[in-house]
Structure 1
């Protein structure tokens, strides 16, 4: 290259390594960001840990977590929010604080069964815990963006577009699940995460599954 790569280029390369499972190049990209450019960036640690988790390299995941602890790097909690009737409703993963919590979780359970019938398979590759597959699926089921989407479907009229915001990058499993959900409920679902606007409609996303 005629110029020195910046943090954005390295981050893009790291994201590509996550998609294609290139461990060696991912490690090189992460080291360039963490050691040379932005050592306090939690997203780099998390992406690298995700790549190791996908490969089943749990000892490496533990090392990444330890490095975060040693350097006192803290990952921001994932938050999703939706505005309904001029009221902003915020969710954490597994959140049960909303008055309609039981209805939301029950509705998501039904949706999960329906999308599985249509071909959805939970993507547990990025669950950062070495636990049984069933538990991994449970961990994925109530991510914050899914809770926000479910509430939007429950509280708005059929056919109304749903707009959800998230402070972090939406996970691969939620992205896949929401594609299926958009087709089943016949809604346009827009998710604005930290990287991209995702417009889900009739089972596909405007990002082309690459973000």
Structure 2
């Protein structure tokens, strides 16, 4: 049975340079890094009850989270931004197995409607589908390393009501499959 959620925020994050790292070091080292990183992310999720984590198993370094999905959170976009900032801090505490320094992540967020439901027969999974999920994924893939990249819909939900978030407009970008979109990046903490 599918459930419609009229307004949530979806986040995708991945590790900058993960493909190279996974080719240069032993698989055990890659899994150890991912386990340490995701354990930190999961601990942060536990402190924010309106977050729902949906790890993408087929893409080793992808991490997906939705805010306002299972528990109502009228401020889901701000909750997600706080989570994204905490993710960046947590990533900076985990070292790359190549010895090249701390993990850096790229984060994308979009807010809008999604449909959720259980899919599958043998390994049933709770899944989210819809343009919001696709757009959040695109925000991540065309984002900047070490930055939080959001769509205009996410920006509009927080820009007037949360002065603690300082924004830089990226202007119109050609987003694969979505066309031209005005997007925003959260200012680096030292600039805010």
The structure in which a higher percent of residues are strand is 2
Larger radius of gyration: 1
Q: Give the TM-score, by structure 2 length.
A: 0.32
Q: Give the TM-score, by structure 1 length.
A: 0.30
The structure in which a higher percent of residues are helix is 1
Higher RCO, 1 or 2 (CA under 8 Å, sep at least 6)? 2
